[in-house]
Amino acid sequence: MSGLILEGKTGKWEVICGVEIHCQIISKSKIFSGASTHYGSDPNQNVAFIDAGMPGMLPSLNEECVHQAVKTGLGLNAKINKYSEFSRKNYFYADLPQGYQITQFRYPIVGEGTVTISLPDGSTKDIGIERMHIEQDAGKSIHDMAPDKSFIDLNRAGVGLMEIVTKPDFRAPEEVGAFLRKLRSILRYLETCDGNMDEGSMRCDVNVSVRKLGEEGFRTRCEMKNVNSVKFVMQAIENEARRHVEVYESGGEIVQETRKFDALSGQTKPMRKKEFAHDYRYFPEPDLLPLVLDDEYINRIKSEMVELPDAKMARYVKDLGLTPYDASVICENKEVAAFYEKAAKGHDAKKVANWLMGDFFAMLNEKKLELKDSPISAENLGRLVELVTTNVINGKTAKDVFALMAETGDNPEKIVEEKGLKQVTDTGAIEAVIDEVIAANPDNVAAYRAGKTALMGWFVGQVMKASKGKANPGMVNQLLSKKLV
Ligand code: MN
- pLDDT by residue, tens only, the chain of 485 residues: 468 999 999 999 999 999 999 999 999 999 999 999 999 899 999 999 999 999 999 999 999 999 999 999 999 999 999 999 999 999 999 999 999 999 999 999 999 999 999 887 878 999 999 999 999 999 999 998 899 999 999 999 999 999 999 999 999 999 999 999 999 999 999 999 999 998 899 999 999 999 999 999 999 999 998 888 999 999 999 999 999 999 999 999 999 999 999 888 888 888 877 777 788 999 999 999 999 999 999 999 999 999 999 999 999 999 999 998 889 999 999 999 999 999 999 999 999 999 999 999 999 999 999 999 999 999 999 999 999 999 889 888 899 999 999 999 999 999 998 888 888 878 888 888 899 999 999 999 999 999 898 899 999 999 988 888 888 888 888 888 888 88
CA pseudo-torsion sign 223, 227, 231, 235? negative
Question: Which one-letter amino acid corresponds to residue 33?
Answer: S
- Single out the residue of 179, 48, 69 nearest to residue 115, CA to CA: 179
Ligand 1 mean position, distance from CA 64 (Å) = 19
Distance CA 58, CA 257 (A): 35
Ligand 1 mean position, distance from CA 23 (Å) = 10
Ligand 1 mean position, distance from CA 477 (Å) = 66
- Single out the residue of 52, 54, 51 nearest to residue 62, CA to CA: 51
Ligand 1 mean position, distance from CA 463 (Å) = 68
Ligand 1 mean position, distance from CA 135 (Å) = 7
Ligand 1 mean position, distance from CA 133 (Å) = 8
Ligand 1 mean position, distance from CA 163 (Å) = 6
What pLDDT is stored for residue 333 in this prediction?
93
Q: Quick check: helix, strand or coil at residue 161?
A: strand
CB 59 within 8 A of CB 34: no
Ligand 1 mean position, distance from CA 207 (Å) = 14
Ligand 1 mean position, distance from CA 183 (Å) = 17
What's CA 358's distance to the chain center, in Å? 18
Ligand 1 mean position, distance from CA 427 (Å) = 72
Ligand 1 mean position, distance from CA 21 (Å) = 8
Q: How many CB atoms lie within 10 A of CB 287?
A: 13
- The model scores a pTM over 0.75: yes
The Cα angle at residue 358 between residues 357 and 363, in degrees rounded to 5: 100
Ligand 1 mean position, distance from CA 69 (Å) = 14
Question: Which one-letter amino acid corresponds to residue 178?
Answer: A
Distance CA 20, CA 17 (A): 10
Helix (H) or strand (E) holding 86: none
Which of 414-427 are b and which e, b meaning 16 or more Cβ less than 10 Å from the residue's Cβ?
ebbeeeebebbeee
**Residue 151: Cβ-neighbour burial (10 angstroms; 0-12, 13-18, 19+):** middle
The torsion defined by the Cα of 144, 149, 155 and 161, in degrees rounded to 10, comes to 70
What pLDDT is stored for residue 122 in this prediction?
78
Ligand 1 mean position, distance from CA 158 (Å) = 12
CB 47 within 8 A of CB 35: yes
Ligand 1 mean position, distance from CA 3 (Å) = 28
What pLDDT is stored for residue 2 in this prediction?
65
Ligand 1 mean position, distance from CA 22 (Å) = 7
Ligand 1 mean position, distance from CA 218 (Å) = 23
CB 240 within 8 A of CB 254: no
Distance CA 158, CA 161 (A): 9
